[in-house]
Structures are given as structure tokens and as C-alpha cells.
């Protein structure tokens, strides 16, 4: 239990965790959907609005210069967290927008009929739907790598699928449903052997483990602020600066231009050419504070804490009769999301019963409907942790699941 509670003192940094629900202390186990926010993030955003609020990249007065400085310092903090070049970091509103940016700015202009887009069956819809849209516009089909019963990516099948016609390989680093950690460095190398673009969805990895963009070997990494202790409404696309410089804009508007005349327009240097209009300034500053907070803990410490907590949870859940847990059984091969189903009880009923005990879990298809079809289910329940989680949260979950069986009369 000491290993599981290694970061338990961090709970005091998250004001929402002092709330009660249903007469019980709040047990928040839905961090894969969105994480809670520490005081330093809330305070950074509030302080910006109270003391430094001005638009960026426009004003020459002192307040605007201060806003510019705080915005770019936050960008640098975020880049440091993932070992990225600050000139390769594009501010988006979430992972969905980041991957759409790649699909339209690069894919729409480079894919043609006969080219192939390779993804996996465990992808979030954010890493499926944009490619399907572009496939419909270009004639480049989307091919899905299967998931064997062990719930690890079928690397043998992937090696067979990636060939001369492959132009992009888009893979999640950590599955938001199975928790599976994919070998993205190896996958990126396979993509590059055939000249394909390697795109990684880091929504579930960047908040929970050390991620270094340079050593990953991929071309593009996308992640989102609200899952990494930051605010909603801000996400990140990281790419090689030389790659960004070769792309046309995804959206047009203010502040992404070099010049505009009645005969046409030219573009600003990357990454600004992909940040049309006023960016989410306070949100970027909040995300910068979240990045600093995580770096202060140390991402390996975050990973060690959550791996110990995942091990504790997997062991505890085996004692609940009639429960099927999806994903790898080895905590070293998975992140913190744990999806499960209870025989005789719908996942939505599980979630509502747990809510009556103050326990928050997700229930549904988790934006992974192709994976649900492959698993032969329509939905699962899912528990997921973060730095503020501890063994007591898992104990409350297990107690709630036992109570759920009794309530629904499951034998």
C-alpha cells in the first residue's frame, strides 16, 4: 500500500477532491476522460485574467508584451515536458483538432487514390474519423490492424500491412479503453522504412509517463491539456519544424499570415501559420502550469505511482465475481485505464450504482466503437487514475462493485 500511496500527499493540491457526493467522499476514477486540476493551474489562469489579460501578437503596449511573454513561456514549458522543439509545437483546442490538422494540412494534399492509411482497431475516434473523411476525399483507404485476444497490437500483422502503398501510420501510444501501451518507436521505424508519416496519439501517454518526442522517432505527436491536469479547450500538436514548414495551413484567418492582398495571401512561419485567430491564451498558460507541476513531480515518478496503483487494482478486481477485465494483465504493458464488464449488469447501471456511492467511473463505448465490435460488447465500464489517486479509491471501487452485484441480484 505504501507504493500505491506514494503520491497521496498530492491529493491536497486538488480542491475538488474535498467534495462529498451521496454523503461520501468523492472518489474520482474518470481521469482518462478528463483529469482534475491542481490549485497551481487554477491560480495561473485566474492570475492571468486578473493581472495580464491582453491579446497576444498584436499590441505594442506593456500589458500586451506581458501577455505575449507568459503565453510563450507556457509554450516552452509544454515543449520541455515532451522533449520537443518549441518551434514545432502548435496550439490546438484538443487532440481531435490536432489530428484533423494533420489529415487536412498534410493528408488532403499528399494522399491520392491507391495510397493507404494504416491505423489500429484500438484507436480513439479522434484517430479514425479524420482519416476516414480524408480517405473519402482522396481515395486512399483506411486499413485497420487487428487486436489479438491478449489485447496487444498484432505487430506481425502490422508489419505485413505496412508496405509500399502505405503513406501514413496513425497509432495510439496508450489505448484509452484497453490501457495497452504500443511500441510507437518500433512502429515509427516501420513507417519510415516505406516513407510513410508516423502519427502518434499521445492523449493517454503524455499525462502519465515519460514521453520524449525526439527519441520516439515519430513525425507527429498529439495530446490534450484537460487529461494532463490542465484546462479544457487547449491541445497540442508537436511535429518536426521542417515538416511543419512544408505544410499549407489548415485554417485561415487572423495572425497566421505573412501578407494579405486582394490577389492572395502568404503565410507566417510555422507554428504560427497553424494558429489562426486569437488562441486560448489563459488555457495555454494553465497548461504550462500543469506541465511545470508534472515536471516537478517527475514523469517517471508519475508512471511508477500509477503502475503500482494499476497492479493493485487488477489484483483487487480479480476478487469480484463475474467481472471481465479487458486489456493486458501485466501492469508494465499498460497504462492506467481499466475497462471491465459485469455479468448480468449493464455498464451504465454499474456506473449509476457506483455514483450512489460517490465513485465516478465512465460507462459507454469510450469513443472506440470499432474496438467494442471487436470485443463483442456494446459498452464497458472504465476506471482510470492519476497522480491524486490512491489505494483507497480502488478499495471504494471494489466495495462498490460488490454492492452492485448484491443490488442487482447477480449470483
Catalytic residues: 367
Cell representation of residue 241: 519544424
Q: Is the peptide bond before 124 cis (omega within 30 degrees of 0)?
A: no
State the burial class of residue 143 (Cβ atoms within 10 Å of its Cβ: 0-12, 13-18, 19+): middle
For residues 184 and 190, give the distance between their C-alpha atoms in angstroms, rounded to a whole number: 10
| Strands (E) located in 101-184 | 116-120, 142-145, 166-172
Phi, psi torsion values for 36, nearest 5 degrees: -80, 165
41, 343, 352 from 380: Cα distances, Å: 32, 11, 13
Q: How far apart are CA 40 and CA 366, in angstroms?
A: 29
Pairing of the two strands 197-201 and 220-224: parallel
What lies within 8 Å, CB to CB, of 300 at 6+ separation is 209, 210
Residues contacting 165, CB < 8 A, separation 6+? 114, 115, 116
Helix axis angle, 281-297 to 299-317, nearest 10°: 80
Which residue in 121, 179, 118, 32 sits closest to 373, CA to CA?
121
Q: Which set of grid coordinates corresponds to residue 214?
A: 525526439
- Other beta carbons within 10 angstroms of residue 213's beta carbon come to 24
- Distances in whole angstroms, Cα of residue 57 to Cα of each of 92, 163, 278, 306: 17, 44, 9, 40
- End-to-end Cα spacing for the chain: 30
Q: Are 80 and 107 in contact (CB under 8 A)?
A: no
Residue 375 Cα to chain centre, angstroms = 22
Amino acid at each position: 500500500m505504501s507504493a500505491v500511496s506514494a503520491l497521496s500527499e498530492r491529493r491536497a493540491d486538488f480542491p475538488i477532491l474535498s467534495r462529498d457526493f451521496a454523503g461520501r467522499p468523492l472518489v474520482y476514477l474518470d481521469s482518462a476522460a478528463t483529469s482534475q486540476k491542481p490549485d497551481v493551474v487554477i491560480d495561473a489562469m485566474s492570475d492571468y485574467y486578473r493581472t495580464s489579460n491582453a491579446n497576444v501578437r498584436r499590441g505594442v503596449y506593456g500589458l500586451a508584451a506581458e501577455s505575449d511573454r507568459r503565453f510563450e513561456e507556457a509554450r516552452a514549458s509544454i515543449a520541455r515536458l515532451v522533449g520537443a522543439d518549441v518551434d514545432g509545437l502548435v496550439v490546438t483546442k484538443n487532440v481531435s483538432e490536432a489530428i484533423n490538422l494533420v489529415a487536412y494540412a498534410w493528408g488532403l494534399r499528399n494522399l491520392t487514390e491507391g495510397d493507404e492509411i494504416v491505423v489500429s482497431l484500438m484507436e480513439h475516434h479522434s484517430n479514425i474519423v479524420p482519416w476516414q473523411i480524408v480517405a473519402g476525399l482522396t481515395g486512399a483507404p483506411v486499413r485497420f490492424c487487428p487486436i489479438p485476444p491478449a489485447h496487444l497490437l498484432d505487430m506481425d500483422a502490422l508489419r505485413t500491412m505496412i508496405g509500399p502503398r502505405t503513406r501514413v501510420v496513425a497509432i495510439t501510444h496508450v489505448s484509452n479503453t484497453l490501457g495497452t501501451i504500443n511500441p510507437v518507436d518500433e512502429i515509427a521505424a516501420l513507417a519510415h522504412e516505406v516513407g510513410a508519416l508516423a502519427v502518434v496519439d499521445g492523449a493517454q501517454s503524455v499525462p502519465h509517463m515519460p514521453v520524449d518526442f525526439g527519441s520516439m522517432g515519430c513525425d507527429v505527436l498529439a495530446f490534450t491539456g484537460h487529461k494532463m491536469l490542465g484546462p479544457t479547450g487547449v491541445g497540442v500538436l508537436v511535429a518536426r519544424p521542417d515538416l511543419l514548414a512544408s505544410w499549407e495551413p489548415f485554417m485561415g484567418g487572423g495572425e497566421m499570415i505573412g501578407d494579405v492582398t486582394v490577389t492572395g495571401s502568404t503565410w507566417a512561419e510555422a507554428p504560427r501559420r497553424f494558429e489562426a485567430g486569437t488562441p486560448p491564451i489563459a488555457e495555454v498558460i494553465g497548461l504550462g502550469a500543469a506541465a511545470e507541476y508534472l515536471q516537478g513531480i517527475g514523469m517517471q515518478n508519475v508512471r511508477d505511482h500509477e503502475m503500482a496503483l494499476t497492479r493493485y487494482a487488477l489484483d483487487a478486481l480479480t476478487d469480484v465475481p463475474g467481472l471481465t477485465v479487458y486489456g493486458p494483465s501485466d501492469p508494465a504493458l499498460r497504462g492506467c485505464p481499466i475497462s471491465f464488464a459485469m455479468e448480468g449488469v449493464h455498464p451504465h447501471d454499474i456506473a449509476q450504482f457506483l455514483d450512489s456511492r460517490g465513485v465516478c467511473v465512465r460507462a459507454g463505448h469510450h469513443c472506440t466503437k470499432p474496438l467494442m465490435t471487436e470485443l463483442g460488447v456494446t459498452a464497458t465500464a472504465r476506471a482510470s487514475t492519476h497522480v491524486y489517486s490512491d489505494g483507497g479509491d480502488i478499495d471504494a471501487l471494489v466495495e462498490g462493485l460488490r454492492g452492485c452485484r448484491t443490488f442487482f441480484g447477480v449470483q
